[in-house]
Chains A and B, each alone.
Chain A
Amino acid sequence: MRLTRLACAVAFGLACHSAFAATAYVSNEKDDSISVIDLDSLEVTATLDVGMRPRGLLLSSDNRLLYICASDSDRVQVMDLATRTIIKELPSGADPEQFALHPNDRWLYISNEDDALVTVVDAQSDEVLAQIEVGVEPEGMAVSPDGKWAVNTSETTNMLHWIDTRTQQLVDNTLVDQRPRHVEFEKDGKRLWASAEIGGTVTVLDVDSRQVLKVLNFAIKGVHPDKVQPVGVKLSDDGKYAFVALGPANHVAVVDARTFEILDYLLVGRRVWHMAFTPDQKRLLTTNGVSGDVSVIDVDSLKVTKSIKVGRYPWGVVVTP
């Protein structure tokens, strides 16, 4: 009887632990795998085989499904996180790299880098709803919080392409600096942040007018300006900070999202690509491609507290509660 009680207590304890511990999923571009990191112990607890060259990652709104851009498999894979198995593959178009999920939790907007297209797929019916012609080498993809806009960046045309999601039509283009790679809407959807890798800048735009509000430049002491190549951008929900991953500069820039002042540069691993917040937004994870690790930034103190070895060339990252 005592043993049974003890077993129940242990099982309950374990269940609670797994229920509260946030988990990070990191795509390893060169290993065709996903590293699973327990964010309590900050250790890799599992490595899951997926399609070829996994890059962009997304979660369904209920955090049960993980969408994976398997770029060289020309597929978006859907993983059930309860069983950690691929349950289906969506027709994504060629070479999917980044994608965004509409707030309706169905429409996936996928950049097809080789075909200069954005493919819209219904993640429930697996149907391709539309293919929209955009600029050359489309990459960054974001959908506004109200679901009205899907914005794509094209790396060679150097433009942001505004897609009206009601009609799935391209309605406007905005020229930004060279090689735009990532776009991110603020939580209230009023402003859009777009990084330009070769231009070395981040452009902040007013969404209603689609006009440029501010262009941010970065300069790190002791790092050659050519190495400052902004890629991933993450905005804190409280509107306080914007974090910009600066690629081969091996730093993440911390920007005051209200004044656009650059507050600090945080040293992380080599070639930092993308980032994800923990659910409480107290920590930010960065994927460092060349050094093959994930750095953990404490958001309150703005300090890098740990770097965790994952697979080869980590690229995308998402966190579940």
Chain B
Amino acid sequence: MTAYWECLRGIVLREWLRFVLQRSRFLSALVRPLLWLLVFAAGFRAALGIAIIEPYDTYITYDTYIVPGLACMILLFNGMQGSLSMVYDREMGSMRVLLTSPLPRAFLLAAKLLATALISLLQVYAFLAIAWVYGVQPPAWGLLAALPALLLVALLLSALGLLLSNGIRQLENFAGVMNFVIFPLFFLSSALYPLWKMRESSEWLYWLCAVNPFTHAVELVRNALYLRLHLDALLICAGLSALLTLLAVASFNPQHAALRKVG
């Protein structure tokens, strides 16, 4: 048991050190959502003040609306960046060092997912703190209630990133992930616009957004921030996290990079 704990501690510590040493990574992770909040949302400030949307009890400005979506955006980018680091690790061989551990590979990968998720949470709370100062203030208890929701979403997106990294053979292919995974997941969700707004413009767009797992992730976090439980979103996120983790672990092959080099 101690071995497992030591291993988990080691992996989390490594991610933490990487996070601390790469300040620019932390800053860029914050700058992205802050640009959306302070610049993009400013232009639409009054756009949403016309309807009450669950879980809000009253009218809200657009900046209040997009904060949960932007929190999830941090998790999305970090999840995908986690997959990038996995490709890097495989190419540089440090993953193989990790896999020499006698502990089961499934545990090692799960620990890696958890470590990425925990680091992501720090960034999300840094963002929420800035948003709070800016004036987007969910109930104080909501910030605590959102913690498990954010952790689940972070795990879900890290698992997705890991699964994707298994399919990526080279570091350069990551650009494709941006175009074909991050952008569609983010824009075809309720992060920036409520689903009923999507429906006003087109029915098929609405359905694409409604089935997008990222929509459920955003709604889970949004509801938790305002002390509500969105049960459907919770079940979907939990189920998907379990499924993606299983698939990622099952399809993980550290030999990819090595084989390519030999070949």
Contacts and interface: CB of A to CB of B under 8 A. Distances in A.
A250 B49 contact: yes
Interface residues of A, number: 16
Contacts of A269: 59
Contacts of A267: 49, 58-61
B45 interface: yes
B58 A268 contact: yes
Contact of B45 (A222, A293, A296, A305): A222
Nearest to A221: B45
A304 interface: yes
B46 interface: yes
Nearest to A295: B58
A305 B50 contact: no
B58 to A, nearest CB: 4
B235 interface: no
A304 B58 contact: yes
Interface of B: 45-46, 49-50, 52, 57-61
Contact of A250 (B52, B57, B59): B59
A278 B110 CA distance: 54
Contacts of A293: 52
Contacts of A221: 45
A275 to B, nearest CB: 15
Interface in A262-283: 267-270
Contacts of B57: 305-307
B131 to A, nearest CB: 16
Nearest first, the 4 closest Cβ-Cβ pairs linking A and B are A307-B58, A306-B57, A222-B45, A222-B46
Contacts of B45: 221-222
B53 to A, nearest CB: 11
A304 B206 CA distance: 30
A295 B52 CA distance: 11
Contacts of A250: 46, 49-50, 59
14 contacts: A223-B46, A250-B59, A267-B49, A267-B58, A267-B59, A269-B59, A291-B50, A291-B59, A293-B52, A296-B58, A305-B57, A306-B57, A306-B58, A307-B58
B49 to A, nearest CB: 5
Interface string A201-243: 0000000000000000000011100000000000000000000
Contacts of A270: 50
A250 B57 CA distance: 16
A295 B46 contact: no
A269 B57 CA distance: 12
Contact of A305 (B58, B60, B61): B58
Nearest to B44: A222
A314 B224 CA distance: 32
Contacts of A306: 57-58
A293 B52 CA distance: 10
A269 B61 CA distance: 12
Residue among B49, B60, B61 having the largest count of chain A Cβ atoms under 10 Å: B49
Contacts of B50: 250, 270, 291
B46 A268 contact: no
B45 to A, nearest CB: 4
Contacts of B59: 250, 267-269, 291, 295, 304, 307
Contacts of B61: 267
Nearest to B62: A222
B181 to A, nearest CB: 34
Nearest to A270: B50
B43 to A, nearest CB: 8
Interface in A283-317: 291, 293, 295-296, 304-307
Given A250-B59, A267-B61, A307 B49 contact: no
A307 B46 contact: no
A7 B64 CA distance: 47
Contacts of B52: 293, 307
Contacts of A305: 57-58
Nearest to B47: A222
A221 B135 CA distance: 14
A107 to B, nearest CB: 38
Contacts of B58: 267-268, 295-296, 304-307
B250 to A, nearest CB: 48
A10 B46 CA distance: 47
Nearest to B56: A307
A304 B60 CA distance: 9
Nearest to B137: A303
Contacts of B60: 267
A296 B52 CA distance: 14
A307 B50 CA distance: 12
Given A295-B59, A296-B58, 7 more contacts: A267-B49, A267-B60, A267-B61, A268-B58, A295-B58, A305-B58, A307-B52
Most chain A CB within 10 A, of B49, B58, B60, is at: B58
Contacts of A304: 58-59
Nearest to A304: B58
